[in-house]
């Protein structure tokens, strides 16, 4: 999860890596008065007695709603949209990330908080570089652009989704597949 709130001081890009930013601007033991929590936030909040890193998403969400601004960008995969044979657990978990982003995006739509996700296809990383050329060709043959995406391309899409300029998009899955996605 990539999260940005008005309480977090942005880091200069590209000198710093994208990181989880959890706002700690108010005392979480005190309820936010006057707010109508969305159903995702009205579940029991057992995290209050535990350190924040255990459940940063819920903590960030409550803080963001309190301040009427926040951006959540989850990283999914094209596998979550199309499924990959032989990768049941991976494809299912990425589909769940897409579903989570859609639900949170809709439930928080009136709060100033947006929640979207990015679903990339194969991205050129050290792990992909270590694969046999035949495996990489098999993967890129499914991509109309016939190449891997780059880390910078995904980072720039995430930066947009986490920006103030992305203010009318929530519950959306951004395609970063070189044309592979069919919906």
The Cα–Cα gap between 142 and 122 comes to 10
Q: Is 90 a catalytic residue?
A: yes
Among positive and negative, which fits the CA dihedral 9, 70, 173, 103?
positive
Tokens of 85: 């044979």
**Closest to 81 (Cα-Cα) out of 73, 93, 69:** 93
HSE (CB half, 13 Å, CA atoms) of 93? Answer: 5
Distance in angstroms (rounded) separating the CA atoms of residues 163 and 4 = 8
Residue from 69, 90, 138, 183 carrying the catalytic annotation: 90
Question: Which residues belong to the active site?
Answer: 90
């Amino acid at each position: 999860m990539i999260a940005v709130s008005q309480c977090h001081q942005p880091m200069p890009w590209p000198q710093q890596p994208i990181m989880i930013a959890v706002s700690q601007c108010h005392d979480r033991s005190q309820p936010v008065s006057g707010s109508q929590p969305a159903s995702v936030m009205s579940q029991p909040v057992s995290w209050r007695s535990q350190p924040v890193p255990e459940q940063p998403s819920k903590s960030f969400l409550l803080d963001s709603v309190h301040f009427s601004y926040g951006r959540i960008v989850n990283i999914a995969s094209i596998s979550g949209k199309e499924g990959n044979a032989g990768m049941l657990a991976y494809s299912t978990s990425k589909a769940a990330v897409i579903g989570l982003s859609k639900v949170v995006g809709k439930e928080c739509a009136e709060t100033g908080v947006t929640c979207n996700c990015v679903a990339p296809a194969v991205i050129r990383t050290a792990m992909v570089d270590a694969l046999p050329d035949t495996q990489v060709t098999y993967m890129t043959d499914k991509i109309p652009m016939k190449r891997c995406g780059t880390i910078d391309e995904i980072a720039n899409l995430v930066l947009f989704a986490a920006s103030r300029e992305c203010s009318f998009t929530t519950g959306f899955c951004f395609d970063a597949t070189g044309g592979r996605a069919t919906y």
